[in-house]
């Protein structure tokens, strides 16, 4: 048991994220970091490998809590779900009013809302904090999305600002108080949904170029590296080039050709879509990205379907057209990426309304500029768009994005047409374009759907030419009556 409470912050959970976050904290002036892990071996390994960090290590919750200065602050970095609840229960039993428990795991924000209320009932602060950037980000500077009370952020904010990534444009730390209770984890969830869409779009771009031009992964790596110097500049484009360039030591083949084509998922993308459905937000590009991973993992169905008929003729791009095709794909990728972010921010707006959070969209764009997986040059444009018009209804109508899509849309349409004709699945490219055209449409066939609903279920409809709610007597003389609204 430590003789004095000497740490100003503690970390519970010392797997890849917690150990790196603890080292990041310890490297900042003024911090003394207490560390604890359920299995003591991890704690011992961390302390042995990093004596320079000056960790105060504990092998029990009692010791850990005793090593923290009051008011105590502990960051939990454990497996989200039951592990988080177990640690919260141990800390809550030992912490005192005014102490702060931070959950930096990928928690479901509904759990965070529940936990915040429960922990608050003990007089403690609970901060659900989204952390993005993986292992490297946790160590050198993640993007941080804390929720919780403004009061807890007064204590926590200065420490978080020191460990967060710094935006390359202005050096601003990538952290902001997102909103109360589950707001931070909600925004992190949407971040991950956008991450799924971004990754799927990149994968579709790669697939089209590979199948269309026959270029090798290494050649396509060069294309992505070139794209990374322009408007598509982003971490995900950068690492795509790295992955495509990698050669498998065992076979000498490109690594991408020996990796099983079944994409995993831990659940945050699915949460984004589940909540979008609950909120009535059309995040179709993100949904397609989640479903594309599911489809890729349906081994039996894919095997059984492998001989199903496709296009009669094989498709390739003539060598003299290859550069133009690749440029079309680049533009289609940029336009679709804008849609993915537009849908993600739409979900943030609706979630904020639903849960009573005052989320500053421009600040969210700013804290995603560095440290996180979706960091990208064009986040500056999103921040500018919300600075120009904080009540912007959709990113796609902001002047910069409107112009960007105007410049890309002919390419985008060609790419989707070619993919459909060639039988190459591009669910994210295609659904993003359909979403864009759906938003643009002066009139949608939803009118027919309303007519059908009224026919079979008397669900009623509204008219374009007068107020009120109407029903046609379909089973009677088919005259129209004004009526009470049915449920939706």
Ligand X SMILES: O=C(CO)[C@H](O)[C@H](O)COP(=O)(O)O
Query: Measuring CA to CA, which residue among 286, 265, 266, 291 is closest to residue 276?
Result: 286
Alpha helices in 316-398 (DSSP H): 322-355, 361-367, 379-388
String of DSSP letters for 130-174: EEESHHHHHHH--EEEE-S-HHHHHHHHHHHHHHS-B-TTT--BS
Binding mask 249-268 for ligand X (x = CB under 6 A): ---------------xxx-x
CB of 397 to ligand NDP, least distance (A): 32
Which range binds ligand NDP by CB under 6 A, 53-61, 72-80, 210-218, 435-443?
A: 72-80
Q: Residue 193 touches which of ligand NDP, ligand X, none (CB < 5 to 8 A by kind)?
A: none
298 among known catalytic residues: no
- Residue 22 interacts with ligand NDP (CB under 6 A)? no
366 among known catalytic residues: no
Closest to ligand NDP by CB, 86 vs 469, is: 86
Q: Residue 282 touches which of ligand NDP, ligand X, none (CB < 5 to 8 A by kind)?
A: none
Task: Identify whether the C-beta of residue 213 lies closer than 8 Å to the C-beta of residue 322.
Answer: yes
- Residue 47 interacts with ligand NDP (CB under 6 A)? no
Provide the token pair at 62.
């009692």
- Residue 106 interacts with ligand X (CB under 6 A)? yes
Which range binds ligand NDP by CB under 6 A, 59-67, 128-136, 194-202, 467-475?
A: 128-136
Q: Which residue has the tokens 């919300």?
A: 386
**Whole-angstrom Cα distance, residue 442 to residue 285?**
22
**Whole-angstrom Cα distance, residue 349 to residue 393?**
9
- Residue 379 interacts with ligand NDP (CB under 6 A)? no
SS3 content of the chain, % helix, strand, coil (to 5): 55, 10, 35
Residue whose beta carbon is closest to ligand NDP: 105
Instruction: Work out the angle at residue 290's Cα, subtended by the Cα atoms of residues 315 and 201, and round it to the nearest 5 degrees.
Output: 45
- Residue 147 interacts with ligand NDP (CB under 6 A)? no
- Residue 134 interacts with ligand X (CB under 6 A)? yes
Closest to ligand X by CB, 266 vs 440, is: 266
- Selected from 2, 5, 8, 38, the binder of ligand NDP by CB under 6 A is 38
CB of 184 to ligand NDP, least distance (A): 12
- Residue 362 interacts with ligand NDP (CB under 6 A)? no
Query: Measuring CA to CA, which residue among 195, 329, 337 is closest to residue 265?
Result: 195
The DSSP 8-state label assigned to residue 395 in this structure reads G
Provide the token pair at 472.
């046609």
* Residues in contact with ligand NDP by the rule CB under 6 A: 13-18, 37-39, 42, 77-80, 82-83, 86-87, 105-106, 131-132, 134
Binding site for ligand X (CB under 6 A): 106, 132, 134, 192, 195, 264-266, 268-269, 373
Active site residues: 188, 195
């Amino acid at each position: 048991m430590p003789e004095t409470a000497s740490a100003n912050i503690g970390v519970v959970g010392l797997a890849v994220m917690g150990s790196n976050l603890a080292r990041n904290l310890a490297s900042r002036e003024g911090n003394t970091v207490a560390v604890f892990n359920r299995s003591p071996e991890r704690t011992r390994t961390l302390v042995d490998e990093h004596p320079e960090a000056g960790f105060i290590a504990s092998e029990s919750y009692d010791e850990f809590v005793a090593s923290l200065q009051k008011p105590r602050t502990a960051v939990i970095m454990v497996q989200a779900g039951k592990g988080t609840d177990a640690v919260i229960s141990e800390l809550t039993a030992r912490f005192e009013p005014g102490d702060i428990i931070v959950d930096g795991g990928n928690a479901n924000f509904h759990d965070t809302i529940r936990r915040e209320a429960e922990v608050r009932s003990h007089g403690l602060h609970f901060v659900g904090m989204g952390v993005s950037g993986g292992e490297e980000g946790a160590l050198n500077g993640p993007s941080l999305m804390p929720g919780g009370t403004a009061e807890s952020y007064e204590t926590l904010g200065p420490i978080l600002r020191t460990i967060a990534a710094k935006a390359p444009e202005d050096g601003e730390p990538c952290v902001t108080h997102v909103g109360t209770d589950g707001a931070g984890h909600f925004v992190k969830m949407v971040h991950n949904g956008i991450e799924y869409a971004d990754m799927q779009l990149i994968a579709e771009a790669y697939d089209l170029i590979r199948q269309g031009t026959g270029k090798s992964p290494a050649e396509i790596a060069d294309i992505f590296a070139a794209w990374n110097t322009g408007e598509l500049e982003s971490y995900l484009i950068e690492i795509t080039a790295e992955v495509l360039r990698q050669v498998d030591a065992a076979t000498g083949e490109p690594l991408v050709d020996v990796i099983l084509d079944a994409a995993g998922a831990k659940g945050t993308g699915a949460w984004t879509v589940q909540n979008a459905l609950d909120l009535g937000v059309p995040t179709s590009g993100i949904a397609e990205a989640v479903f594309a991973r599911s489809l890729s993992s349906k081994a039996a169905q894919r095997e059984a379907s492998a001989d199903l008929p496709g296009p009669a003729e094989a498709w390739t791009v003539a060598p003299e057209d290859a550069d133009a095709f690749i440029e079309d794909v680049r533009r289609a990728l940029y336009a679709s990426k804008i849609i993915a972010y537009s849908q993600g921010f739409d979900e943030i707006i609706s979630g904020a309304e639903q849960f009573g959070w005052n989320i500053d969209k421009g600040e969210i764009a700013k804290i995603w500029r560095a440290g996180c997986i979706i960091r990208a040059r064009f986040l500056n444009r999103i921040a500018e768009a919300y600075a120009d018009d904080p009540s912007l209804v959709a990113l796609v109508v902001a002047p910069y994005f409107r112009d960007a899509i105007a410049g890309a849309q002919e390419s985008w349409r060609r790419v989707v047409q070619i993919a459909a004709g060639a039988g190459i699945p591009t669910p994210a490219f295609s659904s993003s374009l359909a979403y864009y055209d759906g938003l643009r449409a002066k009139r949608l066939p939803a009118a027919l759907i309303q007519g059908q609903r009224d026919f079979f279920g008397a669900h009623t409809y509204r008219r374009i030419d007068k107020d009120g709610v109407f029903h046609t007597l379909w089973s009677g003389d088919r005259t129209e009556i004004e009526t009470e609204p049915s449920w939706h």
